[in-house]
Amino acid sequence: MKESDLTTEPIGQNLIKLISNVCFSVFVFTVLIFTVIAVTYQPPDPWLESAPALTKLLTQTENATFKIDGSMLKTGEDIASSPVSPPANSTQVTEATIEKSEEKIGNMTVMKSSTDCDDDLKIVNCSDPRVLVAVERFNLKVFKSIVFLDYETPVNGSKPDECDVSWRFRNKKEKSWRRYRDFRRFKFGFGENCTYKVFHTSGWHSGVNARRPRVRPSSARGARGGGGGGGDPEINDTIATLGSQSNFRRGKYLYYSRGGDYCKGMNQYMWSFLCGLGEAMYLNRTFVMDLSLCLSASYSSKGKDEEGKDFRYYFDFEHLKETASIVEEGEFLRDWKKWNRSHKRKVPVRKVKTHRVSPLQLSKDKSTIIWRQFDSPEPENYWYRVCEGQASKYVERPWHALWKSKRLMNIVSEISGKMDWDFDAVHVVRGEKAQNKKLWPHLDADTWPDAILNKLKGIVQVWRNLYIATNEPFYNYFDKLRSQYKVHLLDDYSYLWGNKSEWYNETSLLNNGKPVEFDGYMRVAVDTEVFYRGKTRVETFYNLTTDCKDGINTC
C-alpha cells in the first residue's frame, strides 16, 4: 500500500499542476485577446457610414479611394445629435411672447368703432402693433415647421387692406442656428371686436415693399473679401490676417501639404480635411488650410477634374472660423517668408514625412510649425491616414465645424419656401447604378416612373407638393408622376443661381468678378437639404427597391 501511495501521489500532483497550467494559459490567452481588441478597436465616427463599414470600404476599393454613393451629401448640420444652441442675443416668437406683446399694447391703441368695420371703410393701418400680432399668430398656425426669430415693422402693400411684413426664421429640421429671411404680403380684414385678422397671405418673398434695399457690391472687395455684397448681409467669409510678425512667431501651427486626396470625391475631402482639423485641435494648434479645392470629375460638367474652386462655394467659412482656429494658407506662407527674411533666427519647423508619426508623438513638440508632408505614392499620401489606428482613440473629427455654405442653404430655403414648407420628398438614385445590373439587378425597373408612382400611392397623398431629389439627367423622366402630384425638380428653380440671382453675384465676387458654375456638387448639396425638409421622405434603397445600397449582398 505504501509503495502504491508513493507512486500515485506524484501523478495526482502533476495532474493538478497540469490543470492549473491549462487554466492559467486560457486566462493569459483571454487577456491577450481583449488587449488586441482594445488596441485595434476604432470608435465609430459620426459620418455617413459606421467605422467597420468605412474600414471595409477603404480596404476593398482601388487605391483606398472613397467610392461612397454621392447622391446624398451630409455635413455637420445634418449629423448633429441635437440642434446647436442659439446665440445669446437671439429671440424666438412664441405664443408666450405674442401674449406679452398684447399686454404691452393694452390700452395704448384706441379700439375702432363699429362703423370702422363696415366693408366700405376698411383701411388697415400697417404700423398698428396689432397688425404685427395678427401676422405672428397666423404664421405660428400655418407654418409649423418654422421657428420665427424676429419681425420688422409691417409696411403698406399695394392695396389699402394689404401689408408687407419681413421676418427672420430657421427651419426646425436644420440643426444649425443659421437665420434666413422671408417677406410676404398679407391681406387683412376685421374679426370680432374689430380686431385685425389675416385673410390671406401671398407666397414666398411676395412682400417686396418690406424687402431690405439691395446694396450694389463693390468690385474692389475681390476674392479675398466676400460676404455681404448685394445679398445676405449675415455672411462674413472674409479672410482674416495674422497681423504683426510677432503674432505669427508666437503662434503654433499645423500645416498639411497637398496630398493624394486632391481631386478626389468631396466625401473623401471632408473625411481628410476633418482629420487634419481634428489633429490641430488635439495638438492645440492653428490649422493652415488651403481655400483652393479641386472639384472631382464626377461633379464636373466638363467631365474632368477642375482646380481652383473656392472652399467658400461649398462650405460655411464663417462658421468654421468661429468654431476652429484656422489660418488661410496664402496668409500663413506670406507671413512665414516675411519672418525668415527679416530675422536671422528662422522659424522652428518640424517636418513629418509619413502619416505613421502619430499625433500623440507630436503632442509635446515645441516647434512653431509642424509640417506634415504627403509625398508618398497613393494611398500612403491620403490625409485621413493620420487618423487611423491608435490615433482614432484621441483625435476626433470636428463635424460640428463643417457646415454647407450659407449661400447654398439660402437656395434651399428659397425652394422650400416656394412650396410653403409643406411638401413631401422622394430620393431617386439612377445614373450608373441603374445601368449596373450585376450589382443592382432591380434598381432600373424599381425606379421606372410607373413603379415609383405605384409605391408613392401608399405613402404620399395625391396632389401634394412632391420634391424629387435625383441624379436622373432627363427632366421629363418623371412626367408620369404629374398626373397625381405637384412635382418639383431642382431645375425648376434654376433662376436661383442664374445670372440675375444673389448667388451668382456673390460667388462671382469671390471669383474676382468671373461667373461661377453651379456644379454637380452644389446640385447634390441642395437636393440633399431640400429632401431632408420634406414632411414624408421616401428613400430609394429603403422604400423603392429591394436592392442593397452598396450592391448585392451588402445589406
pLDDT, tens only, 35-50: 555 444 443 443 334 4
Count CB neighbours of 345 within 10 A: 8
Confidence band, pLDDT 50/70/90 cuts, at residue 73 = confident
Q: pLDDT, tens digit, for every residue of 293-334? A: 999 998 988 889 999 999 999 999 999 999 999 999 999 999
Distance CA 141, CA 137 (A): 6
**φ, ψ of residue 271 in degrees (nearest 5):** -60, -40
* Spatial separation of the C-alpha atoms in residues 58 and 270, rounded to whole Å: 15
Q: How far apart are CA 430 and CA 71, in angstroms?
A: 9
The hierarchical CATH code for the domain 76-83+244-401 is 3.40.50
76 pLDDT band (50/70/90 cuts)? confident
Q: What pLDDT does residue 341 have?
A: 87
What the block records as the C-alpha cell of 312 is: 467658400
Strands 146-151 and 162-171: antiparallel
Task: Give just the sign of the alpha carbon dihedral 473, 416, 543, 400.
Answer: positive
Question: SS3 of 98, please?
Answer: helix
Domain with CATH 3.40.50 in the chain: 76-83+244-401
> Which H helix or E strand runs over 289?
strand 286-289
Scanning the structure block, which residue is given the C-alpha cell 445600397? 549
Q: Which helix (H) or strand (E) holds 232?
A: none
* Beta strands, E only, 504-547: 537-538
Is the alpha carbon torsion for 431, 425, 524, 539 positive or negative?
A: negative
Q: Is the pLDDT higher at 19 or at 297?
A: 297
Count, residues in the chain: 555
| Beta carbons of 419 and 409 less than 8 angstroms apart | no
What is the residue-averaged pLDDT of the chain? Answer: 84
**pLDDT of 543 strictly over 70:** yes
pTM of the model as a whole: 0.83
- Taking alpha carbons only, the member of 255, 253, 282, 251 closest to residue 383 is 255
Q: How does pLDDT run across 275-290, given as a tens digit for each residue? A: 999 999 999 999 999 9
Range of weakest confidence among 10-14, 251-255, 395-399, 466-470: 10-14
CA dihedral 353, 358, 363, 365 (to 10 degrees): -20
Higher local confidence (pLDDT), 232 or 549: 549
136 pLDDT more than 80: yes
- State the pLDDT confidence band at 63, using cuts at 50, 70 and 90: very low
pLDDT on residue 10: 65
The secondary structure of 161-184 as a DSSP string is TEEEEEEEEEETT--S---EEEEE
Instruction: Say if residues 497 and 504 touch (Cβ distance below 8 Å).
Output: yes
Q: Which three cell numbers stand for residue 441?
A: 439587378
Cis amide prior to 379 (ω within 30 degrees)? yes
Distance of alpha carbon 78 from alpha carbon 383, whole angstroms: 23
Report pLDDT digits (tens) over 319-376. 999 999 999 999 999 999 988 888 888 899 999 999 999 999 999 999 999 999 999 9
Q: Which whole number is the average pLDDT over 13-40?
A: 65
pLDDT in the model for residue 499: 94
**Residue 62's pLDDT is what?**
37
CA angle 317, 321, 324 (to 5 degrees): 125
Percent of the chain with pLDDT over 90: 61
Cis peptide before 348 (omega within 30 of 0): no
The average pLDDT across 58-66 equals 41
pLDDT value, residue 249: 78
Q: With 60 as the cut, is the pLDDT of residue 251 above it?
A: yes
pLDDT of residue 122: 59
Ranges 114-123, 129-138, 255-264, 296-305: which has the least confidence = 114-123
Cα–Cα distances in angstroms (integers) from residue 113 to residues 108, 193, 266, in the given order: 16, 9, 64
One-letter amino acid for residue 498 of the chain: G
**What's the rounded Cα separation, in Å, for the pair 170 and 87?**
13
For residues 550 and 69, the answer to whether their CB atoms sit within 8 Å is yes
Segment among 103-112, 242-251, 356-365, 384-393 with least mean pLDDT: 103-112
With H, G, I as helix, E, B as strand and everything else as coil, classify residue 457.
Answer: helix
- State the Cα–Cα distance between residues 291 and 406, nearest whole angstrom: 16
Three-class SS state of 428: strand
Can you give the C-alpha Rg of the chain in angstroms?
31
- State how far the Cα of 538 lies from the Cα of 530, in Å rounded to an integer: 13
CA distance 235 to 229: 9
Looking at per-residue confidence, does 19 or 526 come out higher?
526
Burial of 525 (0-12, 13-18, 19+ CB in 10 A): buried
Least confident of 343-352, 442-451, 527-536: 343-352
Mean pLDDT of 409-429: 96
* Percent above pLDDT 70 for the chain: 80
pLDDT-derived band at 383 (thresholds 50, 70, 90) equals: very high
Tell me the average pLDDT across 160-171.
Answer: 94
Q: Which of 113-127, 186-200, 225-239, 328-342 has the lowest mean pLDDT?
A: 113-127
